[in-house]
Structures are given as C-alpha cells and as structure tokens.
Amino acid sequence: MGPRDFTDPRIPNRDECVLRHLLDRHAAQQPDKTHVIFEDGEEWSFAEVRRRVIAKAVGLQKLGVTRGERVAVWLPNGREGLLAFYAINYLGAVFVPFNTAYRGNLLAHVLKNSDARILLCHPDLAPRLAEVELAGIAQLVLTGPAAPGTPPLPVVQFADLDGTEEELAPLAAPIEPWELQSIIYTSGTTGPSKGVLSSYLHMFSNAGPESWPMVGSDDRYMTVAPLFHIGGMGPPFVMLARGASVAIVENFSTERFWETVRATRSTVVFLLGVMATFLMKQPPGPHDRDHGVKLAFMVPFTEQAPAFTERFGIDIYTIFNMTEIASPCVSEANPRKRGTCGRVRPGVEVRLVDANDCEVPVGEIGEMLVRSDRPWGLNSGYNNNPEATAEAWRNGWFHTGDAFRRDEEGYFYFVDRVKDAIRRRGENISSFEVEVEVCAHPTVREAAAIGVPSEYSEDEVMVVIAPVPGQTIDVVELSTFLAGRMPYFMVPRYIRVIDELPKTPSAKVQKAKLRREGITADTWDREKAGMRLRRDAIG
C-alpha cells in the first residue's frame, strides 16, 4: 500500500476496500497465494482470479456495461456466481444478486426495482421469466444452453464473455470507496423485498479487519450461505480485503459439513440459525475434532455453545448483524454470558430506545439504533424506496426493528423482532427466547413461536415445530420439559407439529403465514389436555 489517498483517517485507501483495487494489489503482491477453493478441490490463486475476472469484465464491457450500471445476477453458488460478482465490481458496476428461489410476484418485483438491463442467469431459472413482466431486462447471459420456455430475449453464453487485459477500457478515475457496490434484497417477511444499497465502505465495515479482528490473512473462510445473501456475498469480499482465501460451497449439508471443511482446509465457519443445532444432534464420532477449524461464529449464541466447543474443539464467537448495518456488536471468544450477541465494537454507536426514540435504562428492552463514525459505513438506504429509507433513517440513526436489552457490563441480548413480540396476561414474551428453549429438546429441529388470540385478553403462546429427521415429538413430554426450564407464563399453550416450517426465499420463517393459519385442527392445546401451569409447578 502506498501513502494514504484520503485525509480523513476513517476512510481506508482504495486498495484496502474497493474490490478492483484490492484484487489488483493482491495479484501483484502475492500472485500465487490461493484466494478461492471450490468443493471439488479446484483452487484459484489471486493472479488466476484476476485473469478470469478481467476476461469476464471485458465480455461485459462488450455488452455495454458501464460504471455505475446495475447488473442483475440470478445464479447459485459456484464459479460463475463468484466471477460475475467480481467482474461486475471490477468495472465499477453494481452487483445485484437475486434469490434463486424467486418466482412470480417476488421475481417481478425485484426485476422492476433493480433497474437492471442485463441479467446473468442459470438456464434452469430462465423459464420462470416467461411468467412475469420483465421490466427493463433486455439481455440474458446464460451459464448453459437455453431451456425450453426461456423468453425471447437476446442471449449470450457466460462462457463466451471473454477478452484480454489489453482490451479492457481504462478507468477515467479510480473507483471510490463510497461508490455503490451492491444491492442486496432483504427477505420481505413483512412486505415486498427491499433492496439495500451498499457502498464498498459499507461492505468493508461489515466484517473487515477492524470489525472481525479474530480473522486473519492466513485464514480460510468457508461460506455455505448463498451469494445473494449478505452472509454469502460478504465472505469473499472480506477475505479479499485481508489478502486471504475463501471456500465456496453450494449449500449447507449437515451430513457433509465436516467432510467439506476437511476437503477445503477451512479455518473459519459461520453457523447461522439452526446449523449448530443440526451438527450437535448428529451422533458423536471419533472424527469430531479431525478438522482445521479454529473459530466459528454462532448466531444466535445459545446454551449449547460450550458443549459445541467441548465436542468439536472450536472457539466460538457471536455477533449481531443485518444486511443494512455493519456488525455493531461482536463478542470475545467463548463468551460466558448465555444469549449475548457481544458488546459494541469500536467505530459504531448503539442506542436502545422506546417508541419515541428516547433511550431506555440499562436492563430494559428497547429497539436497537445504530450509526457509524465512518462516512458510508452503513447502508445508503433502500433502492427506489424513499419511504422505507426515511422510516429506517429517522433522527440520524438507523432503526434496526430489533428489540434488545443491555446489561451493566455492556453486553447486548437480542429479545425479538419488534413486530414479533408476544404479550400474555401482562407479560412481554420474546418469541426468540421461547424458540431457543423449544429447540433445546433433542427431538425438535426448528421452531417458531407466535402469539395467537386468547379468549381472555391479549395473546396465548403457540409454537409450530418440526422434528429431527427420524424422530417423533411427544407434545406432552415436550411441554413437561419446557415447564422445567421456562417461566410458567412463557410455556406454550398450543403446540403444532409439521414436517417443515414455511420459509421465505431467504430461508426466514414466515411467521405471518403461521399467524394467519392460527390454531389449526392438528394443534395440541395444553390446557384442554389438562396440563395447567401454576407459578411454580404443573397442576
């Protein structure tokens, strides 16, 4: 790195945080070091990645892609997805990935919202385009032969996007850290998906060296999350920022997880949601510690974390993050406080507030607000949605929509989505905390806690659960189990067992759908079954 380009010390140099300049620097300084490894064992060095990226960038340039243009990408994890991401940013264009589960109205919405002219698409997905209004899409780039039903648009094969570095048009000026890098669509659990506008500085701040100091230049981060999700797009970027490597895996598999870790020689993994639960519920074996992983991020951080460390020999960290922000809370290794998501990291400010944005006392529950001391360090709003942008960025702070409490030592604890909280007979109940306790039962794979109308007033607690494969859930035994672990008012009255919880295309549980379905004919009612709870025991 040369002398600082910016007088503001909060802004890194371009070759520390802008993808094109980062890739150029590492390819020059450490050309033979591996930057990416795939599931089949193929590895690409920094020099090889740069060569392949420039070839695709030239091909996109020949299609007329210009700096600042939005380019839509509808691809699964793999070589083409990674090259599309890097090549688009190498030109200074904007990477706009779509969830591969989208179809119908969701697909039509993001096509229109994105303002994209070109769509890089897997051929198996292309026939879905015939079902919707294509908005501004005028060119398809397919990663294989067109399938029957593909709409009659001009088609170019991704393999034919090619060119040499000599053909690459030079930049009129360097790409700046505050320029738009990506638009990532949120899950849309409460309405149409929102496109989060992210600058290079936002992506760098999300999990860069200052946010995640425990991850270094010699690490290899295995990502199983899709590239259309911040959890999948972020790892290649943040490991590039470190001059380190990433393992690209198509998706999470409980059975193949440790085998893939060993094959890719990964040292860092991210365990989101129920992944850690699934791994812990696998039978113990002699190879549980036969791997090179030194640390894992576990979100949420539950009571099983110490057992996970003991069994697999891995240090556990936890964080709080969402697409719009930049890891404002990060823990130390193996935090002693159950349920924490860490403390505020340097470079950000966090407040917990009431409905009027007034700060709540320590120990009380409030919505988390975040701001950064770095310009462009958080999201730049929502694409073509000024109303949602204004609502989220009130009073100079970003409103997360998540309720937390903070203890005297500065540790934060996630309580619930503000809109998901349950109120039963004067008690405020965290659906998240109910779900954690329910999932602690060995036969439960996943759970969603919701409030349903009570014949008395306010809500009753209901859980919708799915079993561990091969297991049967005994609802009476589960209810007794929970009564011994939870305050009486939190123990669910209603339990419904289904094979799989309904999910959004981003794999978030559709609680709104479960609320609409409410108390179904197959729902078990604890009180009708004669199990009434007193304040200290089962009656």
Parse the chain into domains and list their residue ranges: 18-175, 230-417, 421-525
For residue 273, what pLDDT is reported?
A: 67
**What span, in angstroms and rounded, lies between the C-alpha atoms of 151 and 265?**
42
pLDDT for residue 238 is more than 70: yes
Residue 500: name the closest of 532, 527, 467, 474 by CA.
467
Average pLDDT over residues 350-356: 96
For residue 537, what pLDDT is reported?
A: 39
In the numeric block, the tokens 């556990």 are attached to 316
Three-state DSSP state, 459: strand
pLDDT for residue 9 is more than 50: yes
Number of Cβ within 10 Å of residue 165's Cβ equals 11
Domains 230-417 and 421-525 share a fold: no
- What tokens were used for 492? 């669910």
Residue 37 DSSP symbol: E
CATH fold of 18-175: Rossmann fold (3.40.50)
- Residue 536 confidence class, pLDDT cut points 50, 70, 90: very low
> Is residue 191 left, alpha or beta, with left meaning phi > 0 and alpha meaning psi from -120 to 50?
left
The CA–CA distances, whole Å, from 461 to 102, 177, 187, 210, 256 equal 32, 47, 25, 41, 36
Q: Which CATH class is domain 230-417?
A: alpha beta
User: To which H or E segment does residue 104 belong?
Assistant: helix 104-114
Please provide the distance, in angstroms rounded to a whole number, between the alpha carbons at the two ends of the chain.
Answer: 70
Q: Which CATH class is domain 421-525?
A: alpha beta
For residue 538, what pLDDT is reported?
A: 40
For residue 106, what pLDDT is reported?
A: 81
For residue 183, what pLDDT is reported?
A: 98
CB 119 within 8 A of CB 139: yes
DSSP annotation string for 276-325:
HHHHHTSPP-TTTT-S---EEEEES--TTHHHHHHHH--EEE-EE--TTS
Three-state DSSP state, 527: coil
| 3-state helix, strand and coil shares in percent for the chain, rounded to the nearest 5 | 30, 25, 50
Order of strands, sheet of 319-320, starting from the edge strand that comes earlier in the sequence:
319-320, 329-330, 343-344
Which tens digit of pLDDT belongs to each residue from 301-339?
A: 888 899 999 999 999 999 999 999 999 999 999 999 988
